[in-house]
Amino acid sequence: MDQAGRPTRIRWRIIALIFVITTLNYADRATFSIAGESASRELGLSPVQTGFILSAFAWAYALAQIPGGALLDRFGTKRIYAGAIVLWSIFTFSQGFVGLVAGLSAVGTLFALRFLVGLAESPSFPGNARLVAAWFPGRERGIASAIFNSAQYFSLVVFAPAMGWLVHGFGWRTVFWVMGLVGVIAAALFVAYVHGPDRHPAINAAELEEIRAGGGLVDMESTARGSAPPFSWPNLRELISNRMMLGIYIGQYGINVLTYFFVTWFPIYLVKERGLNILEAGFAAAAPALCGFVGGLAGGLISDRILKRTGSLDLARKTPLLLGMALATAILACVWVEAEWLVVLFMSIAFFGKGVASLGWAVMADVAPPRLAGLAGGVFNMFGNIGGIVTPIAVGFIVAATGSFDWALAFVAAHCLLTMAAYGFVVGPIRRLELGE
């Protein structure tokens, strides 16, 4: 470790790599939403079957959050996260072979493989939150968390058109094969470049002290293995029974309903309801995603600026979140417009607002007990991804029952209001939770 000179800026290289990894993470989640129309037609899938397949990822992802967070606390981020990337890439690659093996149910096989992708990806966002808590002082956590969280939008800006082009030109199976191979390359980069702050070969003492003085948990990774308390039901009960934590968890569920509508049904909505072909849908999905990306970065910058000026975590985290969710209700306007460009406009407004509001992981870095950061983040992401279970199935049943997406859009807008209520009336003052409170 270099001991002299001005502070290095290694933490920004770390968050840039995490942004790339998370971009791939979300692209792998969205593979079937892009390939789904062609795959469903070839494999003979109904809307309800498609809804269950789209939800399979979230069933596993939600259920595995608590064990995944506990593993991160117990064994450290690097080992668990790197293994996760390799596994989810293998399972993504394997989906390209569905329907080619005689005697295997396409529905059952796709559900199983997407379920396994969800299991493998479960440590990723709690791992991101741990890295932000370790690498960033409090005053920079808003933008750092916004950077990796905005990858969910950027992934669709880049990969929705690319995957649409692959489906259009080479068939739906190539989407899974290409994304699986890219993921294995990403795992190698992660292993080579991601370390804890106190053991990174390129950081100097000045940056390390800057992070530590600002509240960064610089030795989190060094002390993780074997020192974190093992998973226990009392620890879990204490997290869930705390009013602040419960409000944060409910809010993340509401936000993720909008997220999962976009990464599962939105391209299919553009094809079935609005008459676009899959290539057009891929490019149309990119515009709201780009707005979500811009909104995500804007929300982080606004939050950190409010914190710097006022010193109030409440104002810094809640103000962008509440205003952003209010904008996100614009998704409901799509019920009453006919022109495709207006649909894209209102979806873009909604996802810009959702991006501004996506500060949940910054809040987790602010409030999680240090020795249970992985578990707290796992519970947070479990609640959030219940939205990923509910949304694809609910939308599938709504579309099957009504023949339209209108009530599905109302379902999504209602969850924007739920998030506002959770942060406005349940969370209370935002502060780090001390065990035993």
Tokens found for residue 32 = 């079937």
* Rounded CA separation 220/123 (Å): 16
- Scored b (16 or more CB within 10 A) or e, 222-259 reads eebeeebeebeeebbebbeebebbbbbbbbbbbbbbbb
Element (H, E) at 367: helix 360-367
Count Cα atoms within 13 angstroms, Cβ side, for 224: 30
- What residues are paired with 204 via a beta bridge? 2
Residue type at 427 in one-letter notation: V
Please state the domain extents for the chain: 10-219+231-426
- Cite the DSSP H helix spans in 10-140: 10-43, 47-63, 65-75, 77-94, 106-121, 124-135
State residue 204 phi and psi, 5-degree precision: -105, 170
Nearest to 279 by CA among 166, 174, 176, 178: 166
Contact 96, 174 (CB under 8 A): yes
CATH topology for 10-219+231-426 is: Growth Hormone; Chain: A; (1.20.1250)
Per-residue pLDDT of the chain (437 residues; tens, 9 = 90+): 445 578 888 888 989 999 999 988 888 877 777 776 777 777 877 777 877 787 788 788 888 878 887 788 778 788 889 999 999 999 999 988 887 766 667 778 888 898 999 899 888 888 888 888 887 887 888 788 888 877 877 777 777 778 878 887 888 888 889 989 999 999 999 988 888 787 878 888 887 888 887 777 667 666 555 455 556 677 778 888 899 999 999 999 999 898 888 877 787 788 777 777 666 766 777 788 888 888 988 998 899 899 889 989 899 999 999 999 999 999 999 889 888 888 889 989 998 999 899 888 788 878 888 777 777 877 888 888 888 788 888 888 898 888 888 899 999 999 999 999 999 999 988 888 876 55
pTM over 0.75: no
